[in-house]
Structures are given as C-alpha cells and as structure tokens.
Structure 1
Amino acid sequence: MTTGRSERLLEILRTQGLTELPEPVQLASGNISRYFIDGKAALGAGDDLRLAAEAVDERVTGAGVEFDAVGGLTLGADALCAAIAVVSGASWFIVRKEAKGRGTNRLVEGTRIGEGHRVLLIDDVVTTGGSILQAYESVQATGAQVVAAVTLADRGDDARRSFDEQGVPYFPMATYEEMGIPAIGAETADLAVG
C-alpha cells in the first residue's frame, strides 16, 4: 500500500534522481546502464529529505518493525539515515567502506551499535545489493540485529532475494518497475544484443 508520502517520494525520485543518458555508463555494481538514479541529488533539498525519512519511517513502522538504530554504508546512507534518526527518534550510525586505520580504527561510526540494538539498514540506490549487503555483514559483526532493510530505489531483484534468504524484511521505496526502467539484468542483455 502506498501512502501520499510514498507517492510523493516516488515522484521526487523519478523527476530529480533519474537520468536517461545518451550512452550507457558503468555503475558502481559493475553493471552497464543508460539509466542513472542519483538518490543524493534527488533528496538534496531539506524538505525532500524530510519527506523521504518520514515515508521510510511510516513504511517500516506500518509493517510492525521496531528499530532503535538506523544506518548503512557511506555515502549512500549518510543523509538519509541521519534524517530518519531525527524523525523516528532512533540513533544513527555509518559503516565505513574500510576501517580508518588510525584513532579508534572503527568500521562503524556514530552510535556504537552492538548486542541489543535493532537496526534499520539503509541505502539510497541498490543495483545488485553489494553495498547494502556489505553494511549488513558489518552490522551483524557488531552483534546488533538487522530488523529490516530499506532502499530508496531498487534496480533489480538480487537484494530482495538475499534479504529473503536472511529472513530480513526488505522495503524498496521504489522498484525499477515503479521508476519506469528495465531491471538491471534485462537492460544489460538488451544492450549486448543491440
């Protein structure tokens, strides 16, 4: 069920985050696409970021999921997890791509999550799920429990399958179908044939 906030978020993602390029480009996942979704650009305005945070909180809590910490892999999760923390009252954290190598040498910054924390895992755009699954592994290693995962836009079906296997509820706020673009694997096959 989509709400007014979710519908407005989808429109923001389509109009401010989705670009159809004249030539295919390589995505962070290694896949090739003519469609680029930039979640950070889509939510660059404070009001749009707040709307996204409220829509995510509404979707997750409406499904009966309770969380007390929210975060994900930098840079895709940074702004969104902080905004969700503000609207939900949860604590926030960021997972580095690799430990800093000095100071405390932590991989997870912000709230020190661990056993007893119920984590909402966040990413802005998921293609194959590599980044959000990397964050999942890092969070699991702390002893915290990932109670749900959310992405603004999901370009395929791999992340859903991975989270289903882990028994973690997964909430893409917009799917490739809703964005009006082909699934990442289908587009790659079309580009190879074309």
Structure 2
Amino acid sequence: MSTAPSLSNQPWEAVAQELGMEVVESRLMCKEEKRVRSILATQKKLYKSEKRKCERAESAKKDAEAEAAQLRATMHNMEQAHEELKKTHVSLDTLEEIVACGICWDICWRPALLRCGHCFCEGCLRNHFQTTYERAFMEYSVLDTVYTCPTCRQAHIVTRAPETCFILKGLAEKVGLLRGREAPPPPVVEEGRGLWWPFF
C-alpha cells in the first residue's frame, strides 16, 4: 500500500515554492472576488438609480396625462358654455345693466352685498352711510344711527357691515375688460380704520 509523500521527504525549496504559489493564487482569487463584488455592487446601484428614474418618469407621465385630460375637460366645458352663451344672445349692454351699481349706475367694480340682496359700489354705499350718519347727527344728535338699503329704504334695515360679492365682482371685471375700462382705485379710508368705520 503506497502512501502520499510527506513534506518532510520533499526538498524544502520545492515545498516553499509550492506554498508560495498557493498563497499567491489565494490572494489573486481574493482580489478577483473583491473586484467582482465591487462590479456587482456598482451595477446594483446603477440598476436602482435607473429604476427610480423610470418610476419618476412614469409618475410624471401619469401626471401629464391627468393634466391633459383635465385641460381637455375644461376646454370641452368652455366650448359648451360658449355655445350656450351664443344661444342666449346676451348683449354686452345687458350684462352692463346687470353689474351696474344701484346708486351711480356705473359698473359695480367692488360690489358690497347687503342682507337684502342688493349690491352697490363700496364707495357709493359708504357715501350713503356717511350722509345718513351726518344727517342723523346734525338733526337728532344721536350716534345710534339706523342705516337702510338705498333701494329697499325702510323695507330692510342694515345692521352689519356689507360683504363683498365676488361673483358680481368677477362679472364686472369681465364687462369692464370688454369695454376697455379699468377698475378705479379703492375708497380712501383712514389709517388703522376699516372700510365701514364708524358705521359698523
């Protein structure tokens, strides 16, 4: 029965050379393994980065499609509204009458809405309240003045500050734009005072 030759039976130079080759090969294999792992890690990072880019691009595409669909729906609604407007044949003069102030009969640029439903220019209504306030103070010497709607008169008593009618304001701005006019400056009020001081 033959036995494998032991290292003690081999020349020490051969043994050293063989062991050295194994060490070199082992180191080379470790370096190669590290290089492969580094390449794989880099590729993995690139894959994740490209995946995120694709996801962002897909999300942006969906957002763009949704926005385009919304724009198409808006355009469709505008076209329908335009067709309905053509059917009604509402003239610009009629619209101007609708947005006219009940005091000055000009475009109600800043409509102030009373509880009775009537709208007036902020400046016109403020002047109306100021006249009422001064007349009551001069004639009766009372500060507890009763303010009434210029249209309803005694039918509706004003007990709180008017509110801005934004629907009529937007319509008035469009009528003014069609007429080539710009809104006048707002009423001048004292610094630190509200528009409807001292009435409310």
> What interval of TM-score do these two structures reach, taking the shorter chain for normalisation?
under 0.3
The structure with more radius of gyration: 2
In terms of fraction of residues, the more strand-rich structure is 1
TM-score (norm 2): 0.23
In terms of fraction of residues, the more helix-rich structure is 2
The answer to which structure, 1 or 2, has the higher relative contact order (CA under 8 A, 6+ apart) is 1
TM-score (norm 1): 0.24
